[in-house]
A and B are shown apart, each in its own frame.
Chain A
């Protein structure tokens, strides 16, 4: 699939940095589970459930409710009433979405729906979230009422059946394709020996991703439709089987098969990568670095938040030059504040700091020649004046100079060398005395325990850095066992792939409860792709992509006008542009319903030898499951409402 292809091919196409150039922060559990995130989730899901309630009520009316048992009826009535604020919000939002189509619309004066939603007072959002929860519960009520009836034996029976069925369908043949890629892959992939692991990891994960996601989508999309076509489903639904058991059973069956396959493939892939690793590659990537990151800011550059922009790589890295921007101002500096340091670091003789910066040369012809940078580590107890006095008095009294350990422990200061030579595309490292971390443990609360300052030593060059370009290693670099830690890391990346498999499988399965196999397959893959390209979609919504909306482009096609030129201010063109505004708003709303796919890909971590955070993985798992729950609810209702023997 193209997504898997694209996201793992990227490192092949670009110059490979020996550092994690992720443009996202690792996800934390507290970020996923904090009230704002939950509230946003409730509002998003609730907007659909409340709309469904409204439509259901309009089309089916009260008659169906009156047939429910008294307890259920009461619960449904209460929840339905509590959902009214959300229903109100739905209607209001729809009105706002279509605003540009109203007469007298003035784009200058009216705020887009998304903006006005952001300006709602907090308490209203809280109330709405509560109402959203009520509407979700109301929609889940038939399921919740039947919850005690669910039987694991039935779910397991269906799971086992799906498992067997999948095996009989000989889907496993698809995996011989993977074998071919592995066997012949190295013929086609030339690589520097230091990039060996990087390339292999990328290729292996790319192949695994494509094949596994394809197989899971195929399996899940055609299971239920085939059962309906062969009418085998007739016999199942005329047994005391809850429809949700069919869904869960199938999911369980497919996921156990796919998990088994994933485990085998992970093992095979790992063996393939680990046999005959070159020493250079091992140095770069056969690791699972556990980085401790600081917060980056700059001094004496354009702004504190950014370095100077040299027009390269978007604005991911900020650049500092070797000379002051204007005469009289200070030397530009990049500064990392380390506010939270694990206490294990203080117990080590030395702690490894690693960094990879980008060099931007203003003078040509010196590629592959290093650039000198200055680096200083100071703790919150560091006092430049005190250190200077101590040094002077030692000089006077003829005492030996302070050792690095003494400097670190007593004065909270460490400087590896006056200038470190640094090369493109490689990871530099510095051993920092553990005593520095002992010193940093106590001190003024308002200062960060450790600060690292980096300067560029050469006047004509720029050095670019991003937050994640500098880190301390929490894992003990002296302990060895690199291959083992790398393998575990590889397995963790497989878990990320597992989450993507879960995503595709569930999507395809849910869609197939109502749609035909082929359509489910296509829609599931489409949703997955949209999730993959969320960033692009977002750019589209915000209007960063040049050329205007779909209708505007269509009209340009027809009238043969050049893109980029402002459309004339005619009535027709106004209608066109306003309709595009509405489409854009809807697209923006739709974005909320796409899965987070990119953060589930950890290939880059493994290929560059970075440890995948357990919390990152767990938080992503929570988010993926939370995303899938409403889909399952949809599938449950679709299967319940479906006339199984009806016309297809």
Chain B
């Protein structure tokens, strides 16, 4: 098997206070591997050590114990950065630059020649959908726009490994969907992606493997499908039939015969995300339409259909 892109061994980070006393164990003896070409998700509630892990991998923090290698190099080796793209948790960009200048600046830091810089920044600005705003200073950008330009700068060097800290934060559902599609595209281009999030639906949608952290401890680690597959439960969908008390009773009987129990039964509902997206699509299709009191938008249409 190919060498893992990222490997950590007993990676530990303890934050000390000014006097050198232990203040917080942010990460405890983490052992993970990230393979070539996969989307790896770091999951966990606030303060569980996701960002700390990423910062350790990038050499922004130094491990208290243990070690990590990124593409075979030590995390403090500057050269590893040639092949890494990083989108920080918050936008750390220079606000007095505009989108073009920003990409040009980070392009220079990769020592890219001018022609390459110009070509890539135009491509990326198109790709993240900022073509109309590329001459505006970032101070005028909304959170979502900054997230987009942040992603663009992470891709300026055509990296092999993309590290994204909360890529969907600050994005509207449309943007979040776009971001998820883009991350999948990155994988299809052969890049490895490490992302962290506490938005579970995002992670479930796109990640191949995940690690779940809590209070700095690794709680769970593996393929998403394996982790979520529940062999002791059955889910079914049926069409061309109405849910009646008789049907429910029959179902219950069949299940009891097979040694199981019927937990819930009901009509499926759509997710708010799907609903929201449909509304926005409709609005695009019929410009000028507005919500009027008394009207119930989208109620008559069949649910769950896209």
Residues of A in contact with B (beta carbons under 8 Å apart): 67, 146, 149, 151, 153-154, 156-158, 160-161, 164-165, 168, 230-232, 234-242, 643-647
Q: How far is the CA of A149 from the CA of B77 in the complex (A)?
A: 13
Please name the residue on chain B nearest to A642 by beta carbon.
B62
Q: Are B109 and A236 in contact (CB under 8 A)?
A: yes
Contacts of A231 in B (CB 8 A): 88, 90, 92
Q: A154-B111, A164-B96 are in contact. Are A238 and B105 (CB under 8 A)?
A: no
Considering only residues 44-97 of chain B, those with a C-beta below 8 Å from chain A are 55, 58-62, 74, 78-79, 81-82, 84, 86, 88, 90, 92-94, 96-97
**In the complex the two chains form, what is the Cα distance from A161 to B101 in whole Å?**
10
A239 touches B109 (CB 8 A): yes
A240 touching B108, Cβ below 8 Å: no
Nearest CB of A to B280, in Å: 32
A-B contact pairs, 8 of them (CB 8 A): A146-B78, A165-B96, A232-B93, A238-B58, A238-B84, A239-B157, A240-B110, A241-B109
In the complex, which residue of chain A has the Cβ closest to the Cβ of B52? Answer: A645
Contact yes or no, A232 B94, CB < 8 A? yes
Give the residue name and chain of the A residue nearest to B153 (CB): A235
In the complex, what residue of chain A is closest to B86 when comparing beta carbons?
A238
On chain A, the residues within 8 Å of B60 by CB distance are 234, 237-238, 643-645
Q: Which residues of B contact A149 (CB under 8 A)?
A: 78-79
B275 interfacial by beta-carbon distance below 8 Å: no
Q: In the complex where A234-B60, A234-B88 touch, is A239 in contact with B94 (Cβ < 8 A)?
A: no
Tally B residues with Cβ within 8 Å of A: 32
Contact B61 A161 (CB under 8 A): no
Chain B residue with Cβ nearest A155? B108
Q: Which residues of A lie under 8 Å from residue B221 when comparing CB positions?
A: none
Is the beta-carbon distance between A235 and B108 smaller than 8 angstroms?
no
CB pair B78 A235 closer than 8 Å: no
In the complex, chain A residues whose CB is within 8 Å of the CB of B61: 643, 645-646
Closest to B137 in A: A168
Chain A residues whose CB sits within 8 angstroms of the CB of B16 once the complex forms: 647
**Does B106 have its Cβ within 8 Å of any Cβ on chain A?**
yes
* Distance in angstroms between the alpha carbons of A645 and B54 in the assembled complex: 11
Contacts of A232 in B (CB 8 A): 92-94
B interface residues, Cβ below 8 angstroms from A: 15-18, 55, 58-62, 74, 78-79, 81-82, 84, 86, 88, 90, 92-94, 96-97, 105-106, 108-111, 153, 157
Residues of A contacting B58 with CB < 8 Å? 238
Instruction: From B59, B79, B88, B105, give the contact of A157 (CB < 8 A).
Output: B105
Closest residue of chain B to A165 (Cβ to Cβ) is: B96
Across-interface contacts of A645 in B (CB, < 8 A): 55, 60-61
In the assembled complex, how far is the CB of residue B92 from the closest CB belonging to chain A, in whole angstroms? 4
Residues of A within 8 A of B78 (CB): 146, 149, 240-242
Contact (Cβ within 8 A) B15 A647: yes
A235 touches B88 (CB 8 A): yes
A231 to B89, CA, bound (A): 11
Known interface pairs A231-B92, A239-B81, A240-B109; A643-B86 also in contact (CB < 8 Å): no
The contact of B86 among A158, A235, A241, A644, by CB within 8 Å, is A235
Q: Which residue of B lies closest to A67 (CB)?
A: B74
CB distance from A575 to the nearest CB of B (A): 31
Query: Judging by beta carbons under 8 Å apart, are A230 and B92 in contact?
Result: yes
